[in-house]
Structures are given as C-alpha cells and as structure tokens.
Amino acid sequence: MKLHWKGVMPAVTTKFTDDDQLDLKAFEKNIAAQLEAGVTGIILGGTLGEASTLNSEEKERLIDATLKMVKGKVPVIINIAEQSTEDAISVAKRAEKIGANGLMLLPPMRYKATDRETVEYFKEIARSTSLPIMIYNNPVDYKIEVTIEMFEELLAKCDNIEAVKESTRDISNITRLKNNFGDRIKILCGVDTLALESMVAGADGWVAGLVAAYPAETVAIYELVKAEKIKEALEIYRWFMPLLELDISPQLVQNIKLAEVATGLGTENVRPPRLPLEGLERERVLAIINDAMQNRPTLPDYKNLSLQQ
C-alpha cells in the first residue's frame, strides 16, 4: 500500500481489560469509529498507546489485529522508540514482515544523543527496511531536536525517510522545512493545540491525540482548513481547545481515556505504573469533558466539501 503522508492519522490508545490484557474488542470499536470519520492512517505504539509498557508479543498482536481491522482501507504505522539501534532495527524488520505499512521513528531513548549519533541512528534503521518513515521531531519532550542540517543529510541519504511529525512547538519551523525541502518531506503536526495553525502554515496532516475520543470533529477541522473554510474550522477548533489541551500533559493517556469513556469509544483502563486519575485532578478533567459534551458542535458535511464549492 502506498503511504500518503497527509490527512488525520490518529496515534491511537491501547485498550486493556480489567485484568490488564489487551482488549481487542474495545480497540476494534475505536478503530471502526476512526475509519468512519475518515482518518488516513492508524499509528500504533506511540506515547498515547502506552508503548513503553507493551512487550514485543503484544506489539505484534496489535499490528496484526489492526491490519485485519482496517482491511487495507488505510495504512498502519508502528512507532519505534527502542533503547538501542539493534533493537530498533529488529522492531522495524519484524513490523515489515508482519505487514505494517510504515514506521514512525523517535530519536534514541534515555540517552541524549549528539546530532551525529541521532542522524546515524535514523540512517541505520532506514537502511534496514523498505518501509516509508516519518521522523518524530519533539525536542520539548525528548530533548533532541532534528535540525534542518540533520534533515539535509537524512533526506540525501535515505529515500524512504518521507515525513516528519513536527512537534517543536515552533510554527515557523513548518515554513523553514517547506523553504528548504519543498515536497521532498511531508509535514504532519504532532501537537493538538497547534493543529489548525500548522495546517494554515502548510502542514500536510495531523498526527492527533484527542481524535481517539473525537474522530469526526478532528477530521472535520482538517477537511475544512484544506477547503479554505477557516471560519467554519475555527468554530469547531475553539470548542475543541480545552479538550486538546488535555493532550499536552504528562497524564495525557489518562486524560484521553477518560474522554473515550465519555464518547463510548474506550475504557479508563491504563497499565501501571500509570493509574487512573483521582481527586481534584480527576474532577478538573471530567469538568472539561462534561462541558465539551454538553456543547458538542453540529458538524457540517465535511466529507463532501468538494461538492459544495
């Protein structure tokens, strides 16, 4: 399957049963809602997917199950965030063998690599697979920035590095990337609270978090912006913003899973060491979710905007 890096690609949550096993039934319900809303890909094993708590067998089960659920309608992308280059290459090769359609790569984890080390890490993984790759550039959370100069070397040496999940929080970086590389690299916003602004600045897509609970609203914003219906997109986006801010928190998994409960697309179960929210923080998050649910907007026919021109 040809992977087009555009549209809304959910970084989906991983569902767990009450006894801490993979809950593929609840997971399938959520995936069905994402497909119905019009997402363009599914990303497994990100931070929101609690990848750091999943073992290799669980990751492989998720890839295989998701491929069966989507039935070729959209690509399935697996995140790689391993501790060593050897482990990262192993995951990449295994994901390709199972049938994944693409990879998202974080820089080396735990160790704050130099620019040279980071570039070599990405190059070694890219050389090990034929799968298309999106680099996850998030210096705020992971303390390593992939600079323009680093991208110059990567794009010159690795044809299968095709996209970046842009999470620097610097909107102007989208213009820098476009000025330097044009369409050689596709740009997907990785910060929910900057999504509309990023797309107006030229981002090709949105790797979204709150989409796990609100798929239709997320895709509607994307489609409206691309149709240059900014006013209509802003109305939804402004309603969405208090929810989107739940994604930029160390407790983003708990927050978003609470939102999934409200929309009937998941459970609150997280895997320790994470624990469900409690006390005043739980009340605060629930108040945001409840207010959003009471004022949930009526969406336009965003799937047929081209017919409305």
- The CATH number linked to 110 is 3.20.20.70
> 205-232: b or e for each residue (b if 16 or more CB lie within 10 Å)?
bbbbbbbbbbbbbbbbbbbbbbbebeeb
Q: Which helix (H) or strand (E) holds 80?
A: strand 76-80
pLDDT of residue 16: 98
Greater confidence (1 vs 107) lies with 107
pLDDT of residue 234: 98
Average pLDDT for 206-227: 98
Take residue 133 and report the two structure tokens written for it: 């790759």
pLDDT of residue 247: 96
Cis peptide before 139 (omega within 30 of 0): no
Q: Cα dihedral angle (47, 53, 55, 58), rounded to 10 degrees?
A: -70
Q: Reduced to 3 DSSP states, what percent helix, strand and coil does the chain have, rounded to the nearest 5?
A: 55, 10, 35
Please state, in angstroms and rounded to a whole number, the distance separating the CA atoms of residues 18 and 276.
12
Average pLDDT, the chain: 96
Average pLDDT for 20-31: 98
Please state, in angstroms and rounded to a whole number, the distance separating the CA atoms of residues 189 and 23.
29
Interval 149-173: pLDDT, tens: 999 999 999 999 999 999 999 999 9
* 231 alpha carbon, distance to own chain's centre: 25
pLDDT of residue 111: 86
Do residues 242 and 291 touch, judged by C-beta distance below 8 A?
yes
Interval 211-221: pLDDT, tens: 999 999 999 99
Please state, in angstroms and rounded to a whole number, the distance separating the CA atoms of residues 210 and 245.
9
Interval 95-134: pLDDT, tens: 999 999 999 999 988 789 999 999 999 999 999 999 999 9
- Establish if 256 belongs to a structural domain: yes
Q: Count other Cβ atoms within 10 Å, centred on residue 156.
A: 10
**Whole-prediction pTM:** 0.96
- Establish if 1 belongs to a structural domain: no
- Establish if 155 belongs to a structural domain: yes
Identity of residue 4: H
Q: Which of 201, 79, 232, 70 is nearest to 188 (CA)?
A: 201
- Establish if 68 belongs to a structural domain: yes
Residue 110 burial (C-beta neighbours within 10 Å; 0-12, 13-18, 19+):
exposed
Average pLDDT for 263-286: 97
- Domain span at residue 255? 7-308
Average pLDDT for 174-186: 98
- Establish if 226 belongs to a structural domain: yes
pLDDT of residue 177: 98
- Establish if 76 belongs to a structural domain: yes
Residue 289 burial (C-beta neighbours within 10 Å; 0-12, 13-18, 19+):
buried
Beta pairing partners, 43: 11, 77
First to last CA, the chain: 31
pLDDT of residue 309: 54
Question: How many residues are there in the chain?
Answer: 309
Residue 308 has pLDDT above 70, yes or no: no
- DSSP type of residue 283: H
Q: Which of 146, 133, 153, 75 is nearest to 107 (CA)?
A: 146
Please state, in angstroms and rounded to a whole number, the distance separating the CA atoms of residues 41 and 70.
9
Task: Report the number of distinct structural domains present in the chain.
Answer: 1
- Establish if 2 belongs to a structural domain: no
- DSSP H stretches of helix in the chain: 24-37, 56-70, 85-98, 115-127, 139-142, 148-157, 172-181, 195-200, 215-226, 230-244, 252-263, 279-294
pLDDT of residue 307: 58
pLDDT of residue 109: 80
- Establish if 303 belongs to a structural domain: yes
Average pLDDT for 45-49: 93
